[in-house]
Amino acid sequence: MITFKLALRNLMGAGLRTWLNILVLSLSYVVIIFLHGLLDGWNQQAKTDMISWETGQGQLWQKNYDPFDPIRLQESYSPVPQELSSLVREGKLSPVLVTLATFYPEGRIQSILLKGIGTEQQVLELPTSALAGLSEEIPAIIGKRMAETNKVQAGDLITIRWRDSEGADLAAELRIMKIFSCNVPTVDAGQVWIPLDRLQSMMKVPGEATLLVSGQEELPDLTGGEWVYKDKKFLLADIDQVIKTKSVGTSVMYVVLLLLAMLAIFDTQVLSIFRRQKEIGTQIALGMTRWQVVGLFTVEGAMHAVLAALLAAVYGIPLLMFGAKVGIPMPQGTDTMGLAISDKIFPVYGAGLVLLTVIIVLITSTVVSFIPSRKIARMNPTEAIKGKIQ
Amino acid sequence: MESTQSVITIRNLVKSFPMGNREFVALNGINMQVAHGEFSGLVGPSGSGKTTLLNLVGTLDLPTEGEVLVLDQSVGHLSQKKAARLRSQEIGFIFQTFNLLPVYSAFENVEFPLLIQKMGAEKRKKAVVDALEWVGLTDKARSKPAQLSGGECQRVAIARAIVKKPEIILADEPTANLDAENSHHILKTMLSINREMGTTFLFATHDEKVIGYLGRIIKLVDGRIASDEKVQLN
């Protein structure tokens, strides 16, 4: 207790030097927590968007369907099972038909995935209601990335070519009804969405679909049939992997920030021990053991972290809470760089993150304070009293 | 106040330091005793071994040969912890350059040895106020060393040495950084502490002003005792 009292007294007595260190360290706390929270928020948002725009709560895939094998798409549709038709009618299950097609915007050519989806579906956030209404032209919606890549605008008429289930090459024009903005590249880039019944008729596969997107996690057991259930864990495996990879990068940043903060403490300690040799000698002469002085200097260093945590709480909590409430605006155009990122990211701060950061900083600063303080134990007190550099 | 009871006993003391390839003998064959309540001094030119002897008595250093007994405890055989306890409870130090802790106020500097002793807050406060009263600095209790004159700093150092009521006070050139007036003031204060509290004082000095106050002068030359005489004080 006495050591803490003396350490606090020494720190307060050192005035500006102490406060500068504490300020730097508190900034590290806030920045570390902020960046972690931002990335957690980004990850959480990315997952939520994936669920809302693409995966739903689970999917049933036609047994031949493999999103990484476009050649087999032509064999990957089957009639929607009878036992699921009530779920489809209730809007809890949304059939999607997928085929390869070619898109000709202004005479250019691009391979696309042509996807048919119910105009009244409510499982995904796709603005499919925009697909209702037209009868002569094929209505279509595309994402912002797709539109920008192909320089297409809402209202444009674009020729497409596809092959039906019987192998006949066909072409038609489709009208871009809406360009939607979405953070999930896999429902945007290289994809054109049209009404399901139109695509079924174009493909000559009435009532058939490639996959069924579910709005609920529980689905009737169809094991052994034409359909294979893919749960959310499977569907989000890729993004989970990306998050995992990203968290390695985050940890590196975490360590770098921590090292910068620790460097400040280490420097202060080294300088302190160098400058305060006379003080150290005096403390020993007044009745402290060398290891008590080592302890005092270590606690002094570690106390920087405690005071910094308090200071960080004073200005950091309101600041971080505000950021979490209003969101952090992201620079425009990041999505064109291939990053699935929304206009604003809402950071997520868990108690675990805050607690872990405080504990890690506290332990590291104690260790970093102890390392140079060990020198005191080897000092000759008679020389230290005179302030002789050892 | 002086009694025949010995608080410091030194027998056949040798202290040497490595210096390049050879050993430098700072103290050679020292034998002496200091009785309780003595106001004595180690006198001699620079390099005669005064401070070395004071450091050995103060348990800050270890003898190369021989024995140094402080309050019947052999300095050479004390663990670091026991030596620290002896310093904390029985030995007060006064240094040439005051050695006050710069970020502490005068009050906090005087309080420091009592904090190490883990004395209770109320008792501690009273002891500090008493010590500051002894040296006439109650009005400067809140001042930091940088705000005090040299004489005031040394008075704070004296208060810090006496606050724990030690058996022995070791003063190494206590007036070297003070003018004549302040030197006399300090020495009178220390003499009155010696007389009223019975504290044993051992100085290391070559200052004539200090020598004039000593009740016993132990003259050191080249690490040996050249003379040891008692002086009748007025």
Per residue in A66-110, pLDDT tens? 988 888 888 889 998 888 888 888 888 999 999 999 999 887 898
pLDDT score for A365: 85
**Nearest residue on chain B to A296, alpha-carbon basis:** B116
pLDDT score for A126: 92
Q: Is A10 on the interface with B (CB under 8 A)?
A: yes
pLDDT score for B158: 93
pLDDT digits (tens, 9 = 90+) for A320-347: 999 989 988 877 655 555 555 677 889 9
Q: Is B18 on the interface with A (CB under 8 A)?
A: no
The pLDDT-based confidence of B168 (bands split at 50, 70, 90) is: very high
For residues A358 and B146, what is the distance between their CA atoms, to the nearest angstrom? 37
For A304, counting Cβ atoms within 10 Å of its Cβ (0-12 exposed, 13-18 middle, 19+ buried), the class is: buried
Average pLDDT, stretch A125-137? 84
For residues A141 and A128, what is the distance between their CA atoms, to the nearest angstrom? 8
Q: Which of the 8 DSSP states describes residue A74?
A: G
Dihedrals phi, psi of B48, to nearest 5 degrees: -85, -10
pLDDT digits (tens, 9 = 90+) for A12-32: 888 888 888 889 889 888 988
pLDDT score for A340: 58
pLDDT score for A247: 76
Q: Quote the percentage of chain A above a pLDDT of 90.
A: 32
For B11, counting Cβ atoms within 10 Å of its Cβ (0-12 exposed, 13-18 middle, 19+ buried), the class is: middle
**Nearest residue on chain A to B112, alpha-carbon basis:** A286
Average pLDDT, stretch B228-232? 88
The pLDDT-based confidence of A116 (bands split at 50, 70, 90) is: very high
Please name the residues between 33 and 92 in chain B that touch chain A, using a CB distance below 8 Å: 51, 55, 58, 60-61, 80-81, 84-85, 87-89
CB contacts of A272 in chain B (<8 Å) are none
Q: What is the DSSP string of A213-246?
A: EESSS-----TTSSEEEEEHHHHTHHHHHHHHHH
**Nearest residue on chain B to A4, alpha-carbon basis:** B115
CB contacts of A288 in chain B (<8 Å) are 84, 88, 116
Dihedrals phi, psi of A360, to nearest 5 degrees: -65, -45
Which residues in B118-144 are b (16+ Cβ under 10 Å) and which e? ebeeeebeebbbebbebbebbebbebb
pLDDT score for A134: 64
pLDDT score for A337: 52
Q: How far apart are the first and last CA of chain B?
A: 15
pLDDT score for B145: 94
**Nearest residue on chain B to A9, alpha-carbon basis:** B104
CB pairs under 8 A between A and B: 71
Please name the residues between 45 and 64 in chain A that touch chain B, using a CB distance below 8 Å: none
Tell me the C-alpha to C-alpha distance, in Å, between residue A46 and each of A108, B113, B141: 32, 61, 63
Q: Quote the percentage of chain B above a pLDDT of 90.
A: 82
Average pLDDT, stretch A217-241? 82
Strands A169-180 and A157-163: antiparallel
pTM over 0.80: no
CB contacts of B58 in chain A (<8 Å) are 285
Element spanning B109, H or E? helix B106-116
For residues A107 and A92, what is the distance between their CA atoms, to the nearest angstrom? 40
Interchain proximity B113–A288, CB inside 8 Å = no
pLDDT at B141 over 70: yes
Average pLDDT, stretch A260-268? 80
The pLDDT-based confidence of A251 (bands split at 50, 70, 90) is: confident
pLDDT at B62 over 60: yes
Decide: B207 and B183 in contact? Cβ < 8 Å.
yes
Report ipTM for this prediction: 0.91
The pLDDT-based confidence of A356 (bands split at 50, 70, 90) is: confident
Average pLDDT, stretch B46-72? 94
Q: Which of A2, A285, A387 sits opposite B58 (nearest CB)?
A: A285
User: In whole numbers, what is the pLDDT of chain A averaged over residues?
Assistant: 86
Please give the residue that has the higher pLDDT: either A183 or A293: A293
For residues B59 and B82, what is the distance between their CA atoms, to the nearest angstrom? 10
pLDDT at A364 over 90: no
pLDDT digits (tens, 9 = 90+) for B89-139: 999 999 988 999 998 999 999 999 999 999 999 999 999 999 999 889 999
Q: Which of B121, B52, B59 is nearest to B84 (CA)?
A: B59
